[in-house]
Amino acid sequence: MNRDSRFMIGLYAGMALVPLFLFLYLLSRWFGYAAAAPWLMGAAAIWLLIFGIIGSVEIYGHGRTALERMPIIIGKRVVKGLESERGERAHGDIQITVNVRRFNPVTKEFDEDTFKVYEDRLTTVLDTLLKVKSVHDNSLSMRYSCRMGICGSCGMVVNGKPVLACEANLFSNLDEKHSITIEPMRGHPLLKDLVTDFDDFFEKHESVDPRLQRTNKEEQYTAHDAYRQNKEDVNRFLPYSYCIMCGLCMDACPVVNSNTEFIGPQALSQVYRYYNDSRDQKGKRRLMDIDNLKGAWGCEFSGSCSKACPKGVDPASAIQLLKASIIENFGDS
Ligand code: SF4
Ligand code: FES
């Protein structure tokens, strides 16, 4: 039961007391218990005073008084059972059908649930899922953190495409019936509902040594000055450093989805990023590590990774450039 419902139950219960008090007052007059009458009228007056105070102060931090919120609370959207915890229905206009394909860890199968919510045009898919969770089913699980496209936690499949739920506009993903289908990513093991397991993803990322390496280890950890770079040096790797490790490219990649050995576009784009950083001295050893079918040669260049990337990293081009560097350095035998 949400706060609005609790408030309304309290309010109705309180209001029901007023006719009760009046009825008891009349009874007491009819049957001559006149002494009880002032007490009953006093109790009714106190309740009306409390109701007046509640009605005139702001409740729940919505910037509206309880009385001002009455039409919202008892408005037609609530009557349809589409209430929301924080009164969002005051702004939401359009009824949305949210189809969620959620993984059940007990049965290891997918459950398909449909929820109805009202939303406006400024809503993201993640906000809608959070509304579903707060209003309809608090067992619905999803992963998110920053809600601004930075942390990379909220990757999921919306209408068949891997996206960041916090960046995806709800209305641009609706079909003509105002419905949307949300599923977990498919390129990662499933944990619960929309939550996937990223252990394998992080292991693959870690396998390419994604950090600056210097030949002189002592100097690497005790450097007294910054490693200086000019603009050209920076531009050689900058676009590839924007990766937020959301895993959408891995989800979109047909090779990752059919060959679990392939380290995938995210890890390979990071090889390219460090290989092209003038501060890094691991050099050709980075290329040797991926000169195999698990690495660069596993890529079949479908390009779906770059299409899915929300940060414009373009892993597909990074992998082709790595292949070219491998051939340049070690030949094509
Ligand atoms: S390369 Fe793009 S899609 Fe892949 S993990 Fe990094 S940010 Fe996400
Ligand atoms: S919640 Fe952080 S990227 Fe979506």
Ligand 2 geometric centre to CA of 308 (Å): 15
In CATH, what number is assigned to the domain containing residue 278?
1.10.1060.10
Ligand 1 geometric centre to CA of 170 (Å): 22
- Which of these three, 52, 74, 96, is where a domain ends? 74
Ligand 2 geometric centre to CA of 309 (Å): 13
Residues 6+ apart with CB under 8 A from 52: none
* pLDDT one-digit tens code per residue, 74-102: 433 333 334 444 444 545 578 999 999 99
Q: Which residues pair with 162 in a beta bridge?
A: 157
Ligand 2 geometric centre to CA of 35 (Å): 67
Residue closest via CA to ligand 1's atom 7 equals: 243
- Decide: helix, strand or coil at residue 265: helix
163 and 95 belong to one structural domain: yes
Domain limits for position 70: 3-74
Ligand number with the minimum distance to the CA of 267? 1
Q: Are 166 and 152 in contact (CB under 8 A)?
A: no
* pLDDT one-digit tens code per residue, 52-74: 666 555 444 444 455 545 544 44
176 and 257 belong to one structural domain: no
Is 50 exceeded by the pLDDT of residue 43?
Answer: yes
User: Would you place residue 37 in the very low, low, confident or very high pLDDT band (cuts 50, 70, 90)?
Assistant: low
Q: Is 245 inside a domain boundary? A: yes
Q: Are 215 and 286 in contact (CB under 8 A)?
A: no
Look at residues 89, 87, 154 and name the one whose alpha carbon lies nearest to residue 124. Answer: 154
190 and 209 belong to one structural domain: no
Question: Whole-angstrom Cα distance, residue 168 to residue 162?
Answer: 10
- Within a 13 Å sphere around the CA of 264, how many CA atoms are in the beta-carbon half? 29
204 and 158 belong to one structural domain: no
141 and 171 belong to one structural domain: yes
Q: Is 137 inside a domain boundary? A: yes
Question: Whole-angstrom Cα distance, residue 314 to residue 258?
Answer: 21
Q: Is 111 inside a domain boundary? A: yes
- Of the residues 129, 130, 143, 164, which should be mutated to test ligand 2's pocket, given the most ligand atoms within 8 Å of the CB? 164
In this structure, are strands 179-183 and 190-192 parallel, antiparallel, or unpaired?
unpaired
* pLDDT one-digit tens code per residue, 245-299: 999 999 999 999 999 999 999 999 999 999 999 999 999 999 999 999 999 999 9
- State the average pLDDT over residues 14-23: 74
Q: Are 193 and 141 in contact (CB under 8 A)?
A: yes
Q: Are 170 and 123 in contact (CB under 8 A)?
A: yes
Rounded to 5 degrees, φ, ψ at 106 are -80, -50
189 and 204 belong to one structural domain: no
pTM for the full predicted model: 0.73
- State the average pLDDT over residues 36-51: 72
119 and 182 belong to one structural domain: yes
User: Would you place residue 302 in the very low, low, confident or very high pLDDT band (cuts 50, 70, 90)?
Assistant: very high
Is 60 exceeded by the pLDDT of residue 157?
Answer: yes
203 and 326 belong to one structural domain: yes
Rounded to 5 degrees, φ, ψ at 216 are -90, 100
Ligand number with the minimum distance to the CA of 152? 2
Q: Is 80 inside a domain boundary? A: no
pLDDT number for residue 10: 63
User: Would you place residue 331 in the very low, low, confident or very high pLDDT band (cuts 50, 70, 90)?
Assistant: confident
Q: Is 224 inside a domain boundary? A: no
92 and 179 belong to one structural domain: yes
pLDDT number for residue 271: 98
Q: Are 165 and 142 in contact (CB under 8 A)?
A: yes
Q: Is 267 inside a domain boundary? A: yes
* pLDDT one-digit tens code per residue, 105-117: 999 999 999 999 9
Number of domains present in the structure of the chain: 3
- Which of these three, 74, 104, 129, is where a domain ends? 74
Residues 6+ apart with CB under 8 A from 330: 287, 288, 291
Ligand number with the minimum distance to the CA of 124? 2
254 and 300 belong to one structural domain: yes
Distance linking the first and last C-alpha atoms of the chain: 68
Q: Is 223 inside a domain boundary? A: no
Is 60 exceeded by the pLDDT of residue 313?
Answer: yes
Rounded to 5 degrees, φ, ψ at 68 are -65, -30
- Helix or strand holding residue 275 (H, E): helix 264-275
> Which ligand 1 atom sits closest to the C-alpha of 247?
5
209 and 186 belong to one structural domain: no
Percent of the chain at pLDDT > 70 equals 80
In CATH, what number is assigned to the domain containing residue 155?
3.10.20.30
CB of 150 within 6 A of ligand 2: the answer is yes
AA letter at 77? R
Give DSSP secondary structure letters for 2-53. -HHHHHHHHHHHHHHHHHHHHHHHHHHHHTT-TTHHHHHHHHHHHHHHHHHH
Is 80 exceeded by the pLDDT of residue 300?
Answer: yes
308 and 323 belong to one structural domain: yes
Q: Is 225 inside a domain boundary? A: no
pLDDT number for residue 69: 52
